[in-house]
Amino acid sequence: MEKIIYAIIDANKNNANVDYQIKNIKGLNGSDLFVISFQEISAVVSNFDTSKYSIKKELAIDFARVIDELSHLFTLLPIRFGTFLKSDEIITQLLTDHYQPFHDNLEKVRGKDEFGLKLLWDYDKSKESIRAEVEKEDLNPADYFSKNTVNTNYLLEKMKKYRLEDALLKHVEHFIDEISSLLAQINPDCRFNKMLSPSIILDAVFLVEKQRKGEFIQVIENLKQQHADLHFLLTGPWPPYSFMEILIDN
């Protein structure tokens, strides 16, 4: 029987009444949760027979449910779905070997929630509008090429394409600056992923202090009012999935 790990929490079962607190939370397939502790941290796990149950999308969704319920009780580090280990001893060793990074990350996310923001635009329409801006400035071949050769037109076309891509990226970067500036007072930890696809221009995640959640949402609401041409997808609050800086390769 394998063990599946859900999260690392900031409690030791000998010091806190962890077993009592988690007794009403069920693991995957209705299994009982239990904890394996080392110093001030614990791994929340349950038994899972990988030969008996098939791994489906619904199981991943249920895994997220367990993490969400735990997040209401403890500061935690979510573990990526699909981490099955052979024994309790391996989990204890994992906690022992990586105690410090687990401890440091728990401190970093304490009292904070994650929010996700995706910004979508009408790619074709926006591209044409930005292209019109870019093409206001004429490209003079003499500024770039010493001789007018048969390749000049090709190179000019390439340059126009590059300038358009550059302008699109600058447009997104300008937007990131605007968001960052408006959020400066709230000072969330943030990660921006630009141009995830032609239509998703920004995929951002924010780690926001729970008590400043209202201010954060208000800033996004204001931005939304100012940018009717963009579609805002704000989700959360989530446990701090996107702010884990731990990769353990044993």
Partner 1 sequence: MQENVIDQSKDITILELLDRVLNKGVVITGDIVISVAEIDLIYIGLKLILTSVETMQQRRLTTIKPNC
Residue (163 or 194) nearer to partner 1, CB: 194
Should residue 92 be labelled a site residue for partner 1 when binding is judged by CB under 8 A?
no
Should residue 82 be labelled a site residue for partner 1 when binding is judged by CB under 8 A?
yes
Smallest gap, in angstroms, from Cβ of residue 148 to partner 1?
42
Q: Which residues lie across from 118 on neighbouring strands?
A: 203, 233
Per-residue x/- track, 94-133, partner 1 (CB under 8 A): x----------x----------x---xxxx-x--------
What's the rounded Cα separation, in Å, for the pair 48 and 55? 11
Question: Total binding residues for partner 1 by CB under 8 A?
Answer: 58
What's the rounded Cα separation, in Å, for the pair 56 and 210? 32
| Of the residues 1, 90, 169, 184, which one makes contact with partner 1 according to CB under 8 A | 90
Per-residue x/- track, 160-199, partner 1 (CB under 8 A): -------------------------------------x-x
- Segment contacting partner 1 by CB under 8 A, of 12-20, 21-29, 173-181, 225-233: 225-233
- Taking the alpha carbons of 120, 121, 123, 127 in that order, is the dihedral positive or negative? negative
Map residue 244 onto helix, strand or coil.
coil
Should residue 247 be labelled a site residue for partner 1 when binding is judged by CB under 8 A?
yes
Contacts (CB under 8 A) with partner 1, residues 29-58: 50, 54-57
Residue (84 or 144) nearer to partner 1, CB: 84
The DSSP line for 183-236 is: TTTT--EEEEEE-SSSSEEEEEEEEEEGGGHHHHHHHHHHHHHH-TTSEEEEEE
What's the rounded Cα separation, in Å, for the pair 232 and 101? 34
Residue (132 or 228) nearer to partner 1, CB: 228
Orientation of helix 123-134 relative to helix 152-182, angle to 10°: 110
